[in-house]
Chains A and B, each alone.
Chain A
């Protein structure tokens, strides 16, 4: 009925926009917080219920457009709300950055392991490259975030 070419034309954009969101435990997440490439890695801990997180998400999306930056959005939504809240939110806001759901009950362990200064409040952000690494328990304006990432440029 439809030519293969037509199907590809219709389906390809759909495939691009349909972000899959893996649920990871902390052991599975940890390598993503310690990548060894040449980029500046920006990891943001957020949740759909966290208003200050939602406010700054577009700034991370802008960063993710850059060739020299890789953004990872780690959702701390309740695992039972993945289908009902997290996925619809990603779709509605057309998030392009990579999103994973951290599903690991042992918060007291992994909060300290991610950074000893983290109290557990979100938003929280890690910025790192091969040479340095910083942790921030705070929200950012667009300029603050851009300046921060610039400070990681060689």
Chain B
């Protein structure tokens, strides 16, 4: 019995640590936006899915992607795939990551998508985000929000002029066409998520 218990708890631990894989159902959440409102995925009645991006204020890779994240939202929100940005960093562990700092950054860069704070840091471990930026494309189905793509925005973080593969765009285009993304997981350099 004890062995089974230990096995079971280590299994739980494993599932917990690794986060979602493509095909898993992603949890909804209720997190504070920079305008003070609470935002959930289920608020978006007309959405066909979501581009959930864990990103932050201070990471140079996140900053390098800000314009591209704006462009993704402009392009895909009207056709049913809004960007939902979530800042996973604990503001106590990193200067410049308070909700007020997020608001300043969003205003400066003209973010037109929600920019939420993962207050209490409960959501990013469930998704299995490990760095900023880290993208999860979710497709809304009958059974829930299915993870269809995990990874980088494109293949050239450090130079937007040298992109050859637009991973997120290609994934959402495929889903909109009723197909599965050809590339469903990618990796990229990013900043570690800051915790105390």
Interface residues of A (CB under 8 A from B): 47, 49-52, 76, 78-80, 105-108, 111-112, 118-123, 137, 139
Q: A49-B60, A119-B130, A137-B130 are in contact. Are A105 and B188 (CB under 8 A)?
A: no
Secondary structure at the A interface, as helix, strand, loop or mixed, is: loop
Q: Which residue of B lies closest to A107 (CB)?
A: B188
* Chain B 143-187: CB-based contact to A (< 8 A → 1; otherwise 0): 000000001100111110010000000000000000000000011
Interface residues of B (CB under 8 A from A): 59-60, 64, 94, 130-131, 134, 151-152, 155-159, 162, 186-193
Residue among B158, B162, B189 with the most chain A CB within 10 A? B189
CB atoms of B192 and A78 under 8 A apart? no
* A105 CB → nearest B CB, Å: 5
CB atoms of A120 and B189 under 8 A apart? yes
Residues in B with CB closer than 8 Å to A106 are 155
CB atoms of B189 and A107 under 8 A apart? yes
CB atoms of B190 and A105 under 8 A apart? no
Residues in A with CB closer than 8 Å to B188 are 107-108, 111, 120
* A135 CB → nearest B CB, Å: 14
